[in-house]
Amino acid sequence: MIDKEQLRQSLLQTLHSQRKIALAAAESAHDAATHEQSVAETQYDTVGLEAAYLAHGQSQRVADCDTMINQLSSMVFRDFAEDDEIDIGALVTIDNKMICWFLPICGGYKLEHDVVVITPHSPLGQMLDSAESGEKLQDGRMITDIR
């Protein structure tokens, strides 16, 4: 049986690792942008400006990671019955082989037990949203289990 709390911890660990990498990249880009050698010598010298844009982008990645970490940490997961509609937090098995975790964030992440995070914004997520076990999807695949 797949434990949603264990999946959450695995996903949080991945997000914390990505945040750490993004923070180091942001600090490095900030240092490059403010370094004395980055001062423009001509109007065409854009090394400092480019480093500043990069620092901003990496800082945004850190903020995005923080948002996802906070959202995932505060989510309350429930168990779904066989006759429930698919909703946020559901573990959905398709064709007895593909297991999807239906979440509002982190789409595309692959976790242990070959679980793939699917968001409602993705094409598959749009097909899964409010579907039920035993229902055939538009692409011909069958929902075989909801937990």
**What's the pLDDT tens digit per position in 79-99?**
998 889 999 999 999 999 999
The more confident residue out of 111 and 33 is: 111
Chain Cα centroid distance, residue 143 = 23
Query: Cα separation of 111 and 147, whole Å?
Result: 16
**Whole-Å CA distances, 85 to 24, 63, 75, 121, 135:** 42, 33, 18, 17, 10
Closest CA to 22 of 84, 72, 53, 64: 64
What pLDDT does 95 receive? 94
What pLDDT does 143 receive? 93
Q: pLDDT band at residue 122, thresholds of 50, 70 and 90?
A: very high
What pLDDT does 39 receive? 54
